[in-house]
Copies of this chain bind each other. A is one copy, B any other.
Amino acid sequence: MEDAALTLFAERGFHGTGIRQLAEAAGLSSASLYHWMGTKEELLARLMRQALTRLTDAAVADLAAAPQDDPRTRVAVLVRVHVREHALRRRETRVVDGELAALGEGTRAEVLDLRDTYEQLWAEEIRRGCEDGAFTVARPDVARRAVLEMCSSVARWYRPDGPLDVEELAATYVDLTLRALGADPA
A: residues with CB less than 8 A from B are 11-16, 98, 101-102, 137-139, 142-143, 145-147, 149-150, 152-153, 156-157, 164, 169, 172-173, 175-177, 179-182
Looking at the assembled complex, report how far the CB atom of A104 sits from the nearest CB atom of chain B, in whole angstroms: 13
Q: Which chain B positions have C-beta within 8 A of A142?
A: 164, 169, 172-173
The answer to whether A150 touches B157, judged by C-beta atoms less than 8 angstroms apart, is no
Majority-rule SS of A interface residues = helix
29 example contacts (A-B, Cβ-Cβ < 8 A) are as follows A12-B101, A13-B15, A13-B101, A16-B101, A16-B102, A137-B176, A138-B172, A138-B175, A139-B164, A139-B172, A142-B164, A142-B173, A143-B172, A145-B153, A145-B157, A146-B150, A146-B153, A146-B176, A147-B176, A149-B149, A149-B150, A149-B152, A149-B153, A150-B150, A150-B153, A150-B180, A176-B180, A179-B180, A180-B180
Residue among A147, A176, A179 with max Cβ neighbours from chain B (10 Å): A176
